[in-house]
Structure 1
Amino acid sequence: MQIRDLPYPDPGVPDARSGIRFLVWLWRSQLDGQLRSLAWGTLHMVAVAALPIAVGVAVEAAATRSGEGLVRAGGLMAVLGLAVTVGDTMLHRTAITNWITAAARVQQLLARQATALGATLTRRVAAGEVVAVSTGDIEKIGWFVESVSRFGAALLTTVGVCAALTVYEPVLGGMVSVGVLVLVLAVLPLLSPATRRADAQRAKAGRATELAADTVAGLRVLRGIGGEELFLDRYRRASQEARRAAVRTARMWSLIDAVQVLLPGLLLISVVWFGARLALDGRVAAGELVTVYGAVAFLLFPLRLFQEFAMAYSFSRPSAKRAARVLALRRETGGGATADTGEGGREDTGGNGGPHGDLYDPASGLLAPAGRLTAVVCGDPDLAGRLAERLGGHGGDAAEGTPSVLLGGVALDEVPLETARTAVLVQDKDPVLLSGTLRELLDVPSSGKVTPRQALDAAQCGDVLDALAQSGTDTGGDPMRARITERGRSLSGGQRQRLALARSLVADPEVLVLDEPTSAVDSHTEARVAEALRRVRAGRTTVVFSSSPLVLDRADRVAFVRNGEVVAAGTHRELLSGVPEYRAVVTRETDVEAGAPADDTTAADIPADIPADDTVAARGPRHREHMEETA
């Protein structure tokens, strides 16, 4: 794989059982690149290691006044110099390629995981940890993968040089081999505490990153309650803890650096002293002593690569562990779901191979009949968000006994993710607008039945289009060419919400789930959006989570959810007149005003004449007064 070939057609299935297994899998996944890097690295280091031989030949030739020997030495130096240049260049090229391609593979795996898990990812893993894995951790993982091949080349060259020295000059060669072994063994005990300190530093830095990400995400809320200083103090403490951990780690690695300088220096001095004694006794020639000295000096280079490999492993291990923890998450399956919806749902796989029909959640008892607009009233916004996610095919957990949502009798958790995503689209209460032009924002996979203009009109985006058309000189008066900043920060909350709704309408999925799609708009706009939504989505299944009477009164069916279960269903007017607790949620009345039971009311306390179906209930005077007020 070359950099120009990225992204990968298929990044593969990672071994996420542990951080070490993930690193090994990542290395094996680009074995060709690793072998090329190993070959070029070995050529480079062998050529560098052989240079002392050429110098020794030249010294011997000069000592014996041999012109032919000097020519041979010069030619050998030229060949080795060329080998060093080519080997070093190609080693750098292949090593960086391994680094970037490994990082790109991890990025693709994380992106695929985020796409597969959707909004449930941040419920199972902290958002800050996901950010840390997808930024700094990727660099460290790539560093380790890249350093493996250079470490292998250094190891092969070191063993080869020691063996060659032993053959070339047994006494000095044996001394050098023993000295190198002592150097390696002296550093090994220091690697374990260095690794532990690196792990602690990585954990504290990750904690600071998580705190920063969470603070930025909730900055508006913090400003509203005056909590900026409190969270700033928390981040400052976390940052200082990370700094102190980094200093402790740096001290350990500086000690290892000192050992790596001191002991090789002592070895070099010992070899020179002992070799000089042998030369004075006539047991070795001057050229042989120069060759041995050069070889020992060269061995300092691979020893530094050994240290770099140890550092890369120490810093990448916690990063790989975090990445493996994210990649090990799986899309839960519902286990106990069956084709029986329990409320008259019908099984239908449709003509395009995807599931069609009634949408039914066995856990809550929520039924959204096919082709109709269903509104869901839930007093708990968090519970409503989780229910909306579950309707999108997330949230079934066989281990907890939570069955999967059924669409046309087919369990969404059991069908391929692409099929589920095509069938059901969930727009949460805080949709994200990506940067780009308005035309690019609305360029989403769709059936083609709803044009961008129709979707914008239905979402009541006229004022948004006027503002975008005047936002820049490069638009030429065409709002579709206007650029939207990241997350739509240049727009108001209501404008962002309506553009997101238009994007969902353009997609035109079989089932559209909207969580509070009109919470940030005024009542007049909300009424027009609700009416247009009913018109544009005619014949399609639509589920809207809302407590607005303007939306509820235009729904074909309203389901009232309490404590995670549907306790009543019918039209808005039926529930308003017959279910006091529903009326309390919708009209914002107190329990006393609404005549609702206490907070410990259960489904059994709902009047028997308002079952969880379309049964008509009596309409009282309070209902008529409310409808006259909201008309």
Structure 2
Amino acid sequence: MQIQDLPYPDPGAPDARSGPRFLWWLWRNQTGGQLKSLAWGMLHFVSVSALPFCVGLAVQAVLDRSGTRLALTGGLMALCGTGIAVGDTFLHRSAVTNWITAAARVQQLLARQAAQLGSALTRRVAAGEVVAVSTGDVEKIGWFVEAVSRFTAAALTVAVVCVGLLVYQPALGVVVAVGVPVVALAVLPLLPRATRRADIQREKAGRATELASDTVAGLRVLRGIGGEELFLDRYRSASQEVRRAAVRSARMWSLISAIQVLLPGLLMIAVVWHGVHLAREGRITVGELVTVYSAVMVLNYPLRHFEEIAMAYSFSRPSARRAARVLSLRRATDIEGAREAQVPGGDLYDPATGLLAPAGRLTAVVCGDPDAAGRLAERLGGHPAEPGASVLLGGVPLDDLPLDSARTAVLVQDKDPVLLSGSLRELLDVPSSGAVRAEDALAAAQCGDVLEALVQGSLDASDPLDARITERGRSLSGGQRQRLALARSLITDPEVLVLDEPTSAVDSHTEARIADGLRRMRSDRTTVVFTSSPLLLDRADRVALVHEGAVAAVGVHRDLLDSEPRYRAVVTRESDDEPAPTSPGDENVADGNALLGALEQLEEIEESA
């Protein structure tokens, strides 16, 4: 695989059982590139290591006044120089290719995982961790996968040089053959501690990234409640913890680097000291001494790769572990599904809670626990937390359907939907049935003021659909983002639309109009709305109260308000022994009928005006 051939047609099925297994799987899937890098690395390192022998031969040729041997040695040195240049050039090319292709494979795997799991991914893994894996962790994983072949070439070269010195000059070769393994393995006792410190640094950095991501995402809300400085202080504290952990990790790696400099120096001193004594005794020639000395000096170059591979593995192991954790997440059944591609119709039924959403009806679900409501919405979208908990659509388990068919059948809009940057036209250009126009969906979601705000904020857009939306829609209010997301969901026109608190950030008057528009646009489609708003509940054909993981009551809003205390406690926020509030300014309106009547009077006043 070359860089110009990216992306991969199929990145493969990763071994995500553990971080090391995932690294090994990546390496095996790049065997061709790894062997190529190993071959060029051997050419480069062997050529570098052969220079000392050429230098020794040249020195001895000068001492023996042999012009022929000197010319021959000069030719060998030129050949070694060519090998160094060619090997280094193509080693760098192959190493960078291995690095980029490994990183690209991981990114494709993560992108495919995000596409398969959808919004369920961030429910199972923190968004900050996903960001950390798809950015910095990808580079560290690619670094280790690429460094393995260079390290192997360096290790083989060290072995070849040691054997060559034993054959060339046994008296000094023994010293080198014994000393080099000691130099290479001396840092092994320090690696576990260095790895632990690197793990701690990565863990603290991941938490800081999560905190920063959450703070940025909620900055508007934090400013509104005056909590901006509080969260900034928390991030500063987390950042300082990362700095301290990085310093402790750097100290250990500095010690390892110092040992990698000290021990080769001591080995060189030992070789020179012993070699001088042998030369004085006439047991070796000056050329042989120069050769062994130069070889020991040059060995420092491949020996540095022992430190690099240790560092690369130490930094990539926690990254690979996080990537493997994300990639190990699965749907309850296989992605392809056990049935043929189809979009079934009929009632939506959840066996776990007993919730039934009749086909073509608007069903509202009231749940006192927001987390339980989120899990139920996830399950209705075909992402159960455990196998065997699939919902049925028209009697067909969603898990038995291919992923594309399941997503065409059921669409879940999260409580906090994300708006991607770009024009409004691009935002609304989503896969759809084609039956719902963008203008109609925007009108049903009451996006008139949103369109005006987008046009006013854009300098070159006369058509609202051409106006630009900033990253995550941060220039819009929470209610405006909710309404645009609702319009996007209405355009898709799925068989089943599941909305989790779609109007929690809009005012009551707008909410009432949205409820009417939603009922009108989805008149012949199945719609499930998780809400506790009396305005939406009063428009629903059917209301289900979910209490302690099961449907506790079913009916219409007004009947449940009168007959079901648990329902009334969730909707009106009052307990059984508390009287209904009568203050007209109280936000907790106990009587939903009175609120609806007041809104109808407001509408009549507006129309008459």
Q: TM-score, normalised by structure 2?
A: 0.89
Which structure 2 residues correspond to residues 46-85 of structure 1 after superposition, within 5 A?
46-85=46-85
Residues 310, 362 of structure 1: alpha-carbon distance in 2 compared, 3 angstrom cutoff: same
The answer for the alignment partner of 2:411 in structure 1 is: 425
Deviation of 1:249 after TM superposition, in Å, equals: 2.2
The answer for the alignment partner of 1:489 in structure 2 is: 474
Which structure 2 residues correspond to residues 182-581 of structure 1 after superposition, within 5 A?
182-228=182-228, 230-332=230-332, 353-398=342-387, 403-475=389-461, 477-581=462-566
The answer for the alignment partner of 1:140 in structure 2 is: 140
Q: Secondary structure at the match of 1:474?
A: coil
The answer for the alignment partner of 1:170 in structure 2 is: 170
Cα separation, 2, equivalents of 1:162 and 1:624: 92
Cα separation, 1, equivalents of 2:305 and 2:50: 18
Cα separation, 2, equivalents of 1:629 and 1:260: 81
Report if the CA contact (8 A) 1:43-1:83 is conserved.
yes
Q: Secondary structure at the match of 2:554?
A: strand
Cα separation, 2, equivalents of 1:230 and 1:42: 56
Q: Secondary structure at the match of 1:569?
A: strand
Cα separation, 2, equivalents of 1:532 and 1:355: 26
Deviation of 1:327 after TM superposition, in Å, equals: 2.2
Cα separation, 2, equivalents of 1:544 and 1:189: 59
Deviation of 1:540 after TM superposition, in Å, equals: 1.8
Residues 236, 495 of structure 1: alpha-carbon distance in 2 compared, 3 angstrom cutoff: closer
Cα separation, 2, equivalents of 1:351 and 1:151: 49
Q: Percent identity?
A: 73
Matched AA of 2:352? A
Deviation of 1:533 after TM superposition, in Å, equals: 2.1
Cα separation, 2, equivalents of 1:352 and 1:53: 69
CA-to-aligned-CA distance 1:320-340 (integer Å, 9 cap, x gap):
222222322332359xxxxxx
Cα separation, 1, equivalents of 2:398 and 2:597: 42
Report if the CA contact (8 A) 1:350-1:356 is conserved.
no
CA-to-aligned-CA distance 1:552-580 (integer Å, 9 cap, x gap):
33332222333332222233344345445
Cα separation, 1, equivalents of 2:405 and 2:498: 16
Residue 131 (str. 1) matches residue 117 (str. 2): no
Matched AA of 2:257? D
Matched AA of 1:45? F
Report if the CA contact (8 A) 1:147-1:309 is conserved.
yes
Report if the CA contact (8 A) 1:30-1:98 is conserved.
yes
Instruction: Name stretches of at least 5 consecutive residues in structure 1 with no aligned partner.
Output: 335-348, 596-621
Matched AA of 1:560? L
Deviation of 1:56 after TM superposition, in Å, equals: 2.7
Deviation of 1:47 after TM superposition, in Å, equals: 1.0
CA-to-aligned-CA distance 1:597-620 (integer Å, 9 cap, x gap):
xxxxxxxxxxxxxxxxxxxxxxxx
Matched AA of 1:453? E
Cα separation, 2, equivalents of 1:269 and 1:147: 30
Q: Secondary structure at the match of 2:133?
A: helix
The answer for the alignment partner of 1:612 in structure 2 is: none
Residues 309, 377 of structure 1: alpha-carbon distance in 2 compared, 3 angstrom cutoff: same
Which structure 2 residues correspond to residues 102-141 of structure 1 after superposition, within 5 A?
102-141=102-141
Residues 216, 300 of structure 1: alpha-carbon distance in 2 compared, 3 angstrom cutoff: same
Residues 83, 501 of structure 1: alpha-carbon distance in 2 compared, 3 angstrom cutoff: same
Matched AA of 2:451? L
Residues 67, 481 of structure 1: alpha-carbon distance in 2 compared, 3 angstrom cutoff: farther
Matched AA of 1:523? S
Cα separation, 2, equivalents of 1:256 and 1:192: 12
Cα separation, 1, equivalents of 2:232 and 2:593: 52
Query: How much is the aligned-residue C-alpha RMSD, in angstroms?
Result: 2.8
Cα separation, 2, equivalents of 1:286 and 1:170: 15
CA-to-aligned-CA distance 1:286-307 (integer Å, 9 cap, x gap):
3332222221111111111111
Q: Secondary structure at the match of 1:553?
A: helix
Deviation of 1:228 after TM superposition, in Å, equals: 4.7
Cα separation, 2, equivalents of 1:121 and 1:592: 42
Deviation of 1:3 after TM superposition, in Å, equals: 2.3
Matched AA of 1:439? R
Report if the CA contact (8 A) 2:535-2:592 is conserved.
no
Instruction: Name stretches of at least 5 consecutive residues in structure 2 with no aligned partner.
Output: 581-590, 601-609
The answer for the alignment partner of 1:582 in structure 2 is: 567
Cα separation, 2, equivalents of 1:591 and 1:250: 61
Residues 453, 230 of structure 1: alpha-carbon distance in 2 compared, 3 angstrom cutoff: closer
Q: Secondary structure at the match of 1:283?
A: coil
Deviation of 1:516 after TM superposition, in Å, equals: 1.9
Matched AA of 1:160? V
CA-to-aligned-CA distance 1:248-273 (integer Å, 9 cap, x gap):
32222222222211111121122223
The answer for the alignment partner of 1:616 in structure 2 is: none
Residue 34 (str. 1) matches residue 34 (str. 2): yes
Cα separation, 1, equivalents of 2:593 and 2:114: 48
Cα separation, 1, equivalents of 2:350 and 2:332: 15
Report if the CA contact (8 A) 1:333-1:404 is conserved.
no
Report if the CA contact (8 A) 1:580-1:594 is conserved.
no
Residues 275, 352 of structure 1: alpha-carbon distance in 2 compared, 3 angstrom cutoff: closer
Deviation of 1:220 after TM superposition, in Å, equals: 4.6
Matched AA of 2:363? T
Deviation of 1:227 after TM superposition, in Å, equals: 4.4
Deviation of 1:46 after TM superposition, in Å, equals: 0.9
Give the stretch that moved more between structures: 266-275 or 236-245. 236-245
